[in-house]
Structure 1
Amino acid sequence: MAAGEELAVRRRLLSSMLLVAVIAVLLLGVPLSVLVARMTNDEAAEELRAEATRLLVGVEYALSRQQAIGADHLAKNYPDRYIQVFFRGHPPVVVGTPPPEGRELVEEARSENGYIRISRDSAQVEREVQTRLVLIIALAVVALGVAVWLATVTSRRLSLPLQELTKIAERLGSGDARPSRHRSGIPEVDLVAEVLDRSALRISDLLAREREFATDASHQLRTPLTGLTMRLEEIVASADRPEVVREEGEAAIVQVERLTAVIDELLAAARRQRHAQAEPIEIDEIVQQQIIEWEPTFRRAQRSLVLTGDRGLRALGTPGGLSQVLATLLENSLKHGAGTLRIHTMSNERSVVIEVSDEGPGIPDNLGQKIFERNVSGAGGTGLGLTLARALVAADGGRLELVRRRPATFAVFLRHVHDLEKERHRVVSGPA
Structure 2
Amino acid sequence: MRRRLIQSTLAVVLVVIAVFGVSLVIVETRTISESARERVESEAVRLASIVDSRILAAEKITPDLLGDQLGGDQYAVIRIPGRAPIEIGDKPDGDVIEATRRGEERETVTVQEPRSAVFREVGRTLLIIGAVALLAVIAAVLLALRQAGRLASPLTDLAETAERLGSGDPRPKRKRYGVPELDRVADVLDASAERIARMLTAERRLAADASHQLRTPLTALSMRLEEITLTEDLSTVKEEATIALTQVERLTDVVERLLTNSRDPRTGSAVTFDLDEVIQQQLAEWRPAYRQAGRAIVSSGKRHLKAVGTPGAVAQVLAALIENSLMHGGGTVALRTRVTGNQAVIEVTDEGPGVPADLGARIFERAISGRNSTGIGLAVARDLAEADGGRLEMLQASPPVFGLFLSRTPVRKPEEDERTVR
TM class by smaller structure: 0.7 to 0.9
* Alignment match, 1:411: 403
Shift of 1:355: 2.1
Cα distance change, pair 177–86 in 1 and its aligned pair in 2 (3 A):
same
Q: Unaligned regions of 5+ residues in structure 2, if any? A: none
- Bigger Cα displacement from structure 2, 260-269 vs 203-212: 203-212
Residue pairs, 1:344-359, within 5 angstroms: 344-349=337-342, 351-359=343-351
Shift of 1:299: 5.3
Secondary structure of 1:325 counterpart: helix
* Amino acid paired to 1:282: F
* Alignment match, 2:27: 35
Normalised TM-score (structure 2)? 0.87
Q: Unaligned regions of 5+ residues in structure 1, if any? A: 1-8
Normalised TM-score (structure 1)? 0.85
Secondary structure of 1:193 counterpart: helix
* Amino acid paired to 2:373: G
* Amino acid paired to 2:115: S
Report if aligned partners of 1:364, 1:378 keep a CA contact under 8 Å in 2. yes
1:82-137: CA deviation from partner (whole Å, max 9, x where unpaired): 32445678775443444334x11123445665453322101011011101111211
1:204 aligns with 2:197: yes
1:218 aligns with 2:207: no
* Alignment match, 1:81: 74
Residue pairs, 1:321-336, within 5 angstroms: 321-335=313-327, 336=329
* Amino acid paired to 2:165: L
Residue pairs, 1:260-299, within 5 angstroms: 260-271=252-263, 273-284=264-275, 285-298=277-290
Shift of 1:182: 4.2
Cα distance change, pair 117–320 in 1 and its aligned pair in 2 (3 A):
farther
* Alignment match, 1:179: 172
Cα distance change, pair 84–310 in 1 and its aligned pair in 2 (3 A):
farther
1:133 aligns with 2:123: no
Secondary structure of 1:333 counterpart: helix
* Amino acid paired to 2:40: L
* Amino acid paired to 1:151: A
- Bigger Cα displacement from structure 2, 156-165 vs 262-271: 156-165
Match for residue 23 of structure 1 among 15, 22, 31: 15
- Distance in 1 separating the partners of 2:285 and 2:61: 142
Shift of 1:239: 3.0
- Distance in 2 separating the partners of 1:43 and 1:426: 99
- Distance in 2 separating the partners of 1:426 and 1:26: 80
- Distance in 1 separating the partners of 2:47 and 2:142: 54
Number of aligned residues: 416
1:309-330: CA deviation from partner (whole Å, max 9, x where unpaired): 2634232x43332221111112
* Alignment match, 2:383: 391
Secondary structure of 1:276 counterpart: coil
* Alignment match, 1:373: 365
Report if aligned partners of 2:74, 2:111 keep a CA contact under 8 Å in 1. yes
Shift of 1:308: 2.1
Report if aligned partners of 1:295, 1:305 keep a CA contact under 8 Å in 2. no
* Alignment match, 1:318: 310
- Distance in 2 separating the partners of 1:134 and 1:340: 102
- Distance in 2 separating the partners of 1:340 and 1:68: 145
* Amino acid paired to 1:370: R
1:24-51: CA deviation from partner (whole Å, max 9, x where unpaired): 2223322222222222222222222222
1:163 aligns with 2:139: no
| Identity rate, percent | 40
- Distance in 2 separating the partners of 1:156 and 1:295: 72
- Distance in 2 separating the partners of 1:290 and 1:195: 50
1:209-244: CA deviation from partner (whole Å, max 9, x where unpaired): 22222122111110110111122233334432x333
